[in-house]
Structure 1
Amino acid sequence: MSFSPPPQPSDPWIRRFRPRPEADVRLVCFPHAGGSASYFHPLAQSPTLLPDTEVLAVQYPGRQDRRRERLLDSVPETADRIAEALAPFGDRPLAFFGHSMGAVLAFEVAQRLREGAIGEPRALFVSGRRAPSLHRRGTVHLLDDADLVGELRRAGGTDPRFLDDEELLAEIIPVVRNDYRAVELYRWTPTSPLSCPLTALVGDRDPQAPLDDVEAWRQHTEGPFDLKVFSGGHFYLNTHQRGVADVISKTLADRAQRPATARGNAR
């Protein structure tokens, strides 16, 4: 059996940690506020992830190799751009995994793709985030720099060494503030539910994502819904990479065994 050469992204939005041209499905990962594509490198290397799964990660503007680019402070605009960037990868089924702000973006991109040639993702995994239909007023983006750094320390997703380095902080704070502004000002526009399987993952001590709020993701799909609770806080997945990869692999394996539907990659 022969395989076509792996597609190359037409812009800098997509990172490929381990190209797998023979992959059956591509898992697209969406980082949290202030996060970068490299956050998902450990997941891409997980031994419990199915070998026929290729991990792609989204790189938002304003960080790492894109640090000189204009920041985007709108979830809808960012989702539009990501949906465009994924077009070259639509030759294989896609699955989405998003953490925190990334969960909202993954959901919004899935909404955009379902009406086009790519279609819905094979599965949607949303982590550490309440359902988009539940709006909660957020003010983190309005905090002064010192309080914003304190929020980052409490959340636990940023290396403390970065927060103690004044030069790095000068680069981090504008990006984090921008991302919080985007997700805190986001408002869900009611649409019909997706049809793909939706799995919500959360830490049992996550102050940003109470279990009842995470359970509400159920209403956003007509397909199977599952809720997976891990021990830990907002960044529970830092210590549960294998468990998260196992959930992803089992869901995708189960989905691959089901008959294809008429809606593109939602199969």
Structure 2
Amino acid sequence: MNNASNLRTLRGASIAITIFAVVLILAGAVQIGLGGMAVKQEYDRIALVEQQAREASAFHGYYRQRNDPYAEYNKSSSAFIGEGRFLTVPQDPGRTSAAGIAFVVMGLAAFAFLLAAMFWVWRAHANIAQAGIRSKYGPGKAVAAYLIPIINLILPFEAMRELYNRSHGEPEDFAHSTVEDVTAWWTAVIVGLLVFSALLVKFTLDLGTNMIIMTPLWMEFALLSFAILLLLGSAFLFARLTAKITAAQVDYLPTVEPKQLPEPAPSRPRVNIVRG
């Protein structure tokens, strides 16, 4: 494909990313709202159970000592998840339907967003390479940076920063200069993943070991919502980055005269002399 066709493809991928990001954000917001309603419903259920228990017993002496810790556990996210109470079907069937639809839509939108994002990353870096602009991250390496564990915590940030600067015509010496939009995007990704990972470790310890970390259900929901909001925000920031970089390439790359990047010089043969 020629340069104009590649840029049209890049623009189409950027538009698709924006659409998927909007759908993902809306579905995620619905999920958080329904989750808040579920947490409130759970606290109402706990209050009703405790009220009924108080009417049946005065909770004096041994019974109070036994039931107080259980009451605290009953209010924790460990009990909510471990006892499967989150699977309870509410009285309103419409809410279950909305939650299920929102979850499916969010999953499909996230999958489509990731596919479109990887294609856009490959196409954007390929455009730079085809224009003869030297860069540290080629299209294959840039995509691999997102997919390989551990290194995908660092390299995507560097690759996106370089892509942004080179697409805007920055010389090679300034290819890795600070870009606020890229920093904001990657900060949202990393912080969101850290919070989500911490919650995952906590739930794993609760369900898989004898150690139970009893934290209030509302606190767990607040942290989970915070992590989801950060990841949804990172999707929005990524979509905005793709739009800016695409626009920059449309304006800048046609003005660049394509040239063949020089191949690295072959290493000179060496002779090792071993003295006896």
User: Considering only CA atoms, is the larger Rg found in Structure 1 or Structure 2?
Assistant: 2
Relative contact order (C-alpha < 8 Å, sep 6+): which is higher?
Answer: 2
- Would you tell me which structure has more helix in proportion to its own residues? 2
TM-score by length of 1: 0.25
- Would you tell me which structure has more strand in proportion to its own residues? 1
